[in-house]
Chains A and B, each alone.
Chain A
Amino acid sequence: MKIMLVDDSRTIRNIQKNVLKQLGYEDIVEAEDGVIALAKFAETSPDLCLVDWNMPNMDGITLIRKIRETNKTVPLIMCTTEAEKTRVIEAIKAGVNNYIVKPFTVESLGEKINQTLSKAGAGA
């Protein structure tokens, strides 16, 4: 299980990484913007991506749309401070499987990751 963390804040990526390690996921790819993420996605074929919305160069919603042009199934979780209903709907339309609003507790982050993975596994 390879997981890609996309966020322009390294502090957030480190917090996410710690949660993933506690859940037993050690194979982690990191990207600090959408452009780098898109390249690493093609290179490493992750099994799950956690994607921030607000990032330089290419934002998360654009990244989600680009990933979905070629890959309809990989589980994508938006993890962002964008909390309005309109934004959540926009992200769901773009193809995210789950949505985490920052600030988040480590428990809720772990829960959403497990939830998303088990749903993806059940559907496969």
Chain B
Amino acid sequence: MNVRFINPFIASICNTLETMCATKVTIGKPSLKGDNDGSTDVSGVIGFSGDAAGSLVLHFSFDVASAIASKFAGCEITQDHEDFSDAIGELANMVAGAAKAQFEGLNVSISLPNVVVGKGHNVTSSKGEKRVIIPCETEVGNFMVEVGMIIKKASESRQAVAATGA
């Protein structure tokens, strides 16, 4: 994954959680996703298409998802509340939208949110591109943000290759 995408996601995670959930996020060291990483209970997924393509996944345990959804909605949202998935999906939507606004020079569209709920599930990408895990720490518990992005725009790809000296 092109590292230019990591900082926009870090900024948008912090801004979205701070603004919508009054929750401060401390970002840990991003790492490449391994085969055993990313098992969680609740995943909010957004796809990207256009000049850059890929996806964003917010990974939560049930407890942390419920705590963050409750702070977002301003009332208690347990995992069986009718708005539980809606709240997680909309947070993913905001993180994705705010991040893509910082992809300078790239015209990118986002998908509607998909939310997967189920104890200990995995979300895998069929394309096998390298994905990055960004650990996030908050006062209501920790969660992970997974990002995989590749540049599709031909002129941008050439620039990226030139910049790495390849």
A-side residues, CB < 8 A to B, are 8-12, 14-15, 18, 54-56, 80-84, 86, 101-105
Contacts and interface: CB of A to CB of B under 8 A. Distances in A.
B123 interface: no
A86 B83 CA distance: 32
A84 B105 CA distance: 10
B90 interface: yes
Given A11-B90, A86-B107, A81 B96 contact: yes
Interface string B57-89: 000000000000100111000000001001101
A81 B72 contact: no
B65 to A, nearest CB: 13
A11 B86 contact: yes
Nearest to B88: A11
Interface of B: 15-16, 19-20, 69, 72-74, 83, 86-87, 89-90, 93-94, 96-98, 100-101, 107, 110, 112
B72 A102 contact: no
Nearest to A59: B112
A8 to B, nearest CB: 7
Contact of A80 (B15, B72, B74, B97): B97
Contact of B112 (A14, A54, A102, A104): A54
B98 A54 contact: no
A55 to B, nearest CB: 8
B101 A10 contact: no
A81 B74 contact: no
B159 to A, nearest CB: 20
Contacts of A11: 69, 72-73, 83, 86-87, 90
B83 A10 contact: yes
Contacts of B87: 9, 11
Contacts of B110: 54, 81
Contacts of A15: 73-74
B89 A9 contact: yes
Contact of A81 (B73, B83, B97, B107): B97
A104 B87 CA distance: 15
